[in-house]
Amino acid sequence: MKKFLTELIDSNWFFVSLIAFVVALPLSQALVSVFSGVMLLVALLEDSFRNKINRLSERKVLLLVPLIFVMYVVSTFITRDTSFYDVQKTLFYLVIPFAFMLGKELNSKQVRYVFYTFTCSVLLAIIIALIQWPFMKNTGGFAIHKISLISHIRFSFQLVLLAWFFVFLLLKNFISIDLNKKVLIGSLIAVLLGYLFLQQSLTGILALSASIIYFIFYLLIHVNKKWRLAGTVVLGLAVLFPVLYVVNAVNTFYDIDQIEVDSLDRVTSQGNPYKHYPKDPMVENGHYVNLYLCPAEMREEWNKISAIKYDSLGANGYSISSTLIRYLTSKNLRKDAEGVKALTEQDVRNVESGMANYIFEKRFTLYPRIYQTIWEYYVFSQTGNSNHQSFSQRIEFARAAITIIKKNLFFGVGTGNWKQEFANAFKENNSKLSESLYASAHNQYLNYMVKFGVLGFIFIMFALIYPIVKTRSYRDPYFMVFLVFMFVANFADSNLEAHMGSSFFFFFYSLFILVPKDYLLLDVSNPKPV
């Protein structure tokens, strides 16, 4: 083992610092900051000054990325309200590219071991998450988002990246590796993607879908012509099936009960009066929430079967009564004594945990996550209320961003003023969003344009794309898959201005730019290109 490690490290302590960084990446935000600094420090101290200058000259194309950081710094000082909040968040634009520009070269084996180590750390993070999941107080709805040690969105990117690493590793070495290794690689892909879907991160799943479509398109270009027709059919199906699935989910959601107010029962089977609010648009699974309400009967029956009383708060912070009403509606049960009696023991646990619809109990299907998104949009479209609703809030954030961009098209508002400008835009748009929930666009491209205008946005895109073109890194299909899924994910969140998003992106962006061409080949003497 000592000999193996000595040969692997090969007196390259910059490589060791990269290993430490990827170990921290799925486990701890604080350690990511520490080890990014360690990477730069090692790159500065290791090797001779002349060699570092030579590497800096050879890799100077990466200097464009730190220039984006310079934009943030300059903008901070020239805007009305000086704030270093954005400068702190974008330090990775500076630290990580500089570390890679100065650090020692990596050989192909070392690059692979960066990915192998990263895989081990991600698997450890998955194990820890699954162990702590049953002990969470709130296990209902999408509480599974909270079991990861870092943001579930950012963790989903790590899962996608590693799943693709093993796909390409398998394809590149399919002939040269034995069956056991093929089974192991296939199992790792299944575990990574399985947890991605279990975690229900819609942003990560959409990003994965986009990368799959890109990869099929890539194969179409490179496969033998006789296979292109079949490949085109596969590509078409890869696009069509998800679209049809979503369309069917939308149609199912909007298949809402038709009600006749005069025909509604007025009393329960016990003779107590019902309350009906037919003008309230709230629905669950196509059934109106605020029909057939008898709170007195619900309270009495619920308090018989649950230790968490009807008027108490559930594990999700909302009242048990409101969760119970929605849950009964989702099962097309009346909100009275008979409806509560029809609940199973599992239903009771679901309500206690904050689950407002029985379909959220399904763990291994995307439908609950899609349903939740459609429900949020429906509520927003009917009431204008987007509070505490992930998708609807993003609509409000985007509207506010567009309002700001229209007024500051070319140069933006700067990094010091954007919070106040967003607050003004929400009020101008008559948003019902609570001020405590005011935030930026949750769209990286809109955020860039808000702060730097169209001209600044163009420069940032140039700074990110030119190194890829200059180094011809676009020839690496794995790198392109990485760029595609991050490109799509950035429409749903401002990942490059988030601590774990920017550290992840710029680490692998820099690595891919400088990576040896044969880093995926286990047997370099017998290349098997994709």
pLDDT digits (tens, 9 = 90+) for 428-443: 999 999 988 898 999 9
* Alpha-carbon span 172 to 524, nearest angstrom: 10
First to last CA, the chain: 33
* Alpha-carbon span 292 to 257, nearest angstrom: 14
Provide the pLDDT for residue 526.
Answer: 45
Provide the pLDDT for residue 529.
Answer: 42
What sign results for the dihedral spanned by CA atoms 198, 477, 40, 487?
Answer: negative
Angle between helices 444-470 and 64-78 (to 10 degrees): 150
Token pair listed for 495: 């990942």
SS3 for 247?
Answer: helix
95 within 8 A of 122, measured Cβ to Cβ: no
SS3 for 283?
Answer: strand
Alpha carbon dihedral 352, 353, 354, 355, in 10-degree steps, equals -100
pTM: 0.89
Upper half-sphere CA count for residue 127 (Cβ side, 13 Å): 6
Provide the pLDDT for residue 136.
Answer: 67
* Alpha-carbon span 509 to 79, nearest angstrom: 30
Provide the pLDDT for residue 444.
Answer: 96
Can you spell out the DSSP letters for 187-204? HHHHHHHHHHHHHT-HHH
The low-confidence residues of the chain, meaning pLDDT below 50, are: 139, 524-530
Q: Helix, strand, coil % (nearest 5) of the chain?
A: 70, 0, 30
Is 198 exposed, middle or buried (CB count within 10 Å of its CB: 0-12, 13-18, 19+)?
middle
Within a 10 A sphere around the Cβ of 251, how many other Cβ atoms?
9
Provide the pLDDT for residue 528.
Answer: 45
Instruction: State the Cα angle at 26 between 56 and 167, rounded to 5°.
Output: 80
Give, for 287, the enclosing helix (H) or strand (E). Answer: strand 287-288
Three-state DSSP string of 413-479: CCCCCHHHHHHHHHHHCCCCCCHHHCCCCCCHHHHHHHHHHHHHHHHHHHHHHHHHHHCCHHHCHHH
191 within 8 A of 125, measured Cβ to Cβ: no
- What is each CA distance from 313 to 296, 316, 318, 324, 330, in whole angstroms? 17, 8, 5, 11, 20
Regarding beta strands 287-288 and 283-284, do their DSSP bridges make them parallel or antiparallel, or are they unpaired?
antiparallel
Token pair listed for 137: 């107080």
SS3 for 288?
Answer: strand
| Strand runs labelled E in 422-503 | none
* Alpha-carbon span 158 to 194, nearest angstrom: 13
Provide the pLDDT for residue 76.
Answer: 85
Token pair listed for 93: 């634009």
Mean of per-residue pLDDT scores for the chain: 90
Q: Hunting for tokens 């950012």 — which residue is that?
A: 154
SS3 for 227?
Answer: helix
Q: Hunting for tokens 């078409």 — which residue is that?
A: 236
Sequence-distant (6+) residues with CB within 8 A of 41 are none
pLDDT in tens, 87-142: 888 999 999 999 999 999 999 999 999 999 999 999 999 999 988 877 765 545 55
The β-bridge partners of 293 are 275, 335
SS3 for 88?
Answer: helix
